[in-house]
Chain A
Amino acid sequence: MANPLDLLAYSLRSLAHRKLRAYLTVLGIVIGIAAVVSLVSISDGLYAGVQEQLEAFGPRNAVVVPGDISGFAISGGGYAPPSAGRLFDKDAQRVKSIPGVVDAAKGISVRSLLSFKKNNITISISGVEAQPFNKLMKLDILEGRFLGDNDRHVAVIGADYAQGDIFKNDKMGVGSVFYLGEERIKFRVVGILDPSNSVSGTMIIVPFDDAKELAGDALLEGEVSAIRFAVEEGYDVDAVLSRVEANLAGSRGVRLDEKDFSLITADFILEQVGQIIGVLTAVLGFIISISLLVGGFGVANTMFMTVMEKTKEIGTLKAIGATSKDIMLLIILESALIGFAGGSLGLFAGWIISLIASVFDFKTVITPFLAFFAIAFSMGIGIISGILPAYRASKLSPIAAINK
């Protein structure tokens, strides 16, 4: 007879080992689910961040630009993709006259030489109609003021010129003087944009007529680079937008599907960005899911072992009247439980990882759908991995099983 203490130690060890096996199997699922949850939470956060930024663009705002840009053409080399179409003053008038359109503002963007003190840089300049533009964009001013309708040869500059190192050690401030274009037209800074604005920190905004002067022959008589407008409260945004689209296309005598201009809205950009984020998440999610597959094999392995060890028990159950179906259910339930435990713990671990990620300035979101999906998915893995072992268990002949 063995020493009772030794027996105790051995049974504890065996129990510990069995427990250990369950822990390790669950761990396999935890790792995969945690990775999926943290990935999706980061990508959802990215999407929410873009959405937030676009809110500043204004859900009722739209911009008309020349050329058909649906589906963002990406050009590899130095050659910009060919584009058709131009916009003119008369198009702006047309847009303005459509019911529901308010604050229509013409814009010009022109690339120009900028000289400030001893620095020369080349930069894109935005010429805008001050009052409607300001109403549309509601830009926050850090210092100074925005452009007024009667201003000439003044500029509002992005915060990077006042704070960054664009000019090495020189910094612009309100009252600074700089020169634009080859003719060195003198401009005075009247305002600096707050960095919290959703526009680029390297933006330079000047009155429309000044930009026109800078553009010179690069634009035709009466040509503009963009027309911004808002849809008035009380009007349906989509209805007004399609009216603008139809009206512009009609005035050019082109069908809508061959239009040579594009209407950009926050929704349009969100859709494009959403597609890119979606593809990225799908690819990474697929790669990560491979680990869930491996985890599933681990569950199957554990369940086969369990069935083997419980052969006698299963035989007894059958002998006292349990049907094959009962046995199968029993094993699948155990396997689903492993999946459930893995999913819940994985969700928790993923949540911790996303918290850590948010410390590093990643925006993360764990939606109820993601939480539900993680647990349901891991339970599904548990069930699927348990089917074969359960089937094997259910087919055991009771006599042989007990005799084993």
Chain B
Amino acid sequence: MVPIAEMFWYAFRSLKHNTLRSALTVLGIVIGIAAVVSLISLSQGLSFTINEMISAFGTNNVMVMPGSLESQMGGGGAPTGRPVSGRLFEKDISTLQGVAGVGDITGYLMNSQSVRFREEELRVSLMGVEPDALFRIYKDFYVLREGRFPRDNDRNVMLLGANIADETFERKISVGQFLYVGPEEKKFRVIGILEKKGGLEGEDNDNAIIVHFDDLNGLSTTTLSKNEVNGIIFRVKDGFNVSQVAEAAEIKLAAAHHLRVEDKDFAMMTSESMMEQMGAITDLLSLFLAVISSISLVVGGVGVMNTMYMAVMERTREIGTLKAIGASDSAVLALFVVESGLLGMLGGIIGILIGGFVALIVILVGFDAVFDLQLILFALSFSFGVGIISGFLPAWDASKLPPIEALRYE
């Protein structure tokens, strides 16, 4: 058996023999691997961003919504058109409070109201909550720019997101000014404005209008029944396992609704479960893009196969000589497979460098991209694999050449 190192050396020399052909073949693999690497690093960056966004809401927080998660997709409380079965009531809050590990808790109302500032009237979404509990639950999420947070014994005050204060109305709103809500023109005083977060993750923060639960409840709303809430948010106490508490809460709430857990008419979302959900989507996206960009690798592989057939043909005599001096079929097979694998790997290395460069540019532009050892190893073995697979048939042909005839070949 020929030593592996010697085999590599032999393969390397024969690649150098026809530099132009080898270079063009390698280039095909380079492009394919660069495309796969940059697309995977981009989509992994996307999933990283999404996870960051979800954890920003607090990993100890749990959100309870009526209906199934599917019927709620598209917004908590904003009509999606899909029928939502199941409702949540204030008594459900007390039920959840009885679960060990459930800490601060608040129900929330979310509805669209006409809001007037000076002469301008707009339809905007308002959220009604128990302020003390909410700002303890989301203490890391909401950051004040000016003023203060509303408190439980405040009435008719508002906390505004930066977009609402600065952009939504023609004139800027500042702390101390008044807004009028609903047909009865209920007067609210702005007592705080939030720091702007920007981007998709800042959407919930920047467009927020937060008022006291009772204030919003007092306004006319027809979509909710008496004591009904749009959802419930609670924080799991430190020292408790979030998913275990959420599971216990699920069982208790389902029982209170006289339903089996499988038939539950509400959805319980933890940051972990949301990440799982979103992860499934980004994984699918990642896979889809990888498959599509792999088409170019298939084409590159065809190029490798072509080159290897040429190499076998050109070296027919050489193969004859090798066999005549005792090289076995499998040694010849290995020789050519290694050569072809080397072609692939060479393309892979350069492709990874280019893909890493693309990822770097993406990061510099301000997006997230993940470019880790795992991806590098994957791309390297993938390109080597493409080379080996593409080279197998030509190598098989070479190994089966009868030595005498091969030696006579002109």
B153 interface contact, C-beta 8 A: no
Contact of B293 (CB < 8 Å), options: A111, A216, A287, A297 = A287
Q: Is the CB of A80 within 8 A of B112?
A: yes
25 pairs across A/B with beta carbons < 8 Å?
Answer: A2-B408, A77-B75, A78-B76, A79-B204, A80-B75, A80-B123, A111-B79, A111-B223, A113-B223, A119-B85, A122-B84, A181-B222, A202-B81, A218-B221, A218-B222, A284-B292, A288-B296, A291-B298, A291-B299, A294-B296, A294-B303, A297-B25, A298-B303, A304-B21, A305-B21
A281 interface contact, C-beta 8 A: no
Q: Is the CB of A78 within 8 A of B293?
A: no
Q: Is the CB of A84 within 8 A of B208?
A: no
A367 to chain B, nearest CB (A): 22
Q: Is the CB of A82 within 8 A of B222?
A: no
B94 to chain A, nearest CB (A): 20
Q: Is the CB of A28 within 8 A of B310?
A: no
Bound together, the chains give a CA A111 to CA B75 distance in angstroms of: 15
Bound together, the chains give a CA A39 to CA B190 distance in angstroms of: 53
B4 interface contact, C-beta 8 A: no
Q: Is the CB of B183 within 8 A of A217?
A: yes
Contact of B204 (CB < 8 Å), options: A78, A113, A123, A215 = A78
A-B contact count, CB below 8 Å?
A: 196
Chain B: which residue is nearest A181 at the CB level? B222
Contact of A287 (CB < 8 Å), options: B110, B292, B303 = B292
A150 interface contact, C-beta 8 A: no
From residue 70 to 94 of chain A, which have CB atoms closer than 8 A to chain B?
Answer: 75-84, 86
B295 interface contact, C-beta 8 A: yes
A275 interface contact, C-beta 8 A: no
Residues 281-315 of B, flagged 1 when their CB comes within 8 A of A and 0 if not, give 00000000100110110111011011101100100
Q: Is the CB of A182 within 8 A of B125?
A: no
User: B204 contacts which chain A residues (CB < 8 A)?
Assistant: 76-79
Interface core residue of A2, A32, A86, A287 (most chain B CB under 10 Å): A287
Q: Is the CB of A124 within 8 A of B405?
A: no
Contact of B226 (CB < 8 Å), options: A182, A214, A288, A294 = A182
B240 interface contact, C-beta 8 A: no
Bound together, the chains give a CA A375 to CA B168 distance in angstroms of: 52
Chain B: which residue is nearest A260 at the CB level? B122
Among A16-24, A249-257, A266-274, A322-330, the stretch in contact with B: A16-24
From residue 99 to 122 of chain A, which have CB atoms closer than 8 A to chain B?
Answer: 110-114, 119-122
A235 interface contact, C-beta 8 A: no
User: B21 contacts which chain A residues (CB < 8 A)?
Assistant: 301, 304-305
B121 interface contact, C-beta 8 A: yes
From residue 9 to 52 of chain A, which have CB atoms closer than 8 A to chain B?
Answer: 9-10, 14, 17, 20-21, 24-25, 27-28, 31-32, 35
Q: Is the CB of B302 within 8 A of A28?
A: yes
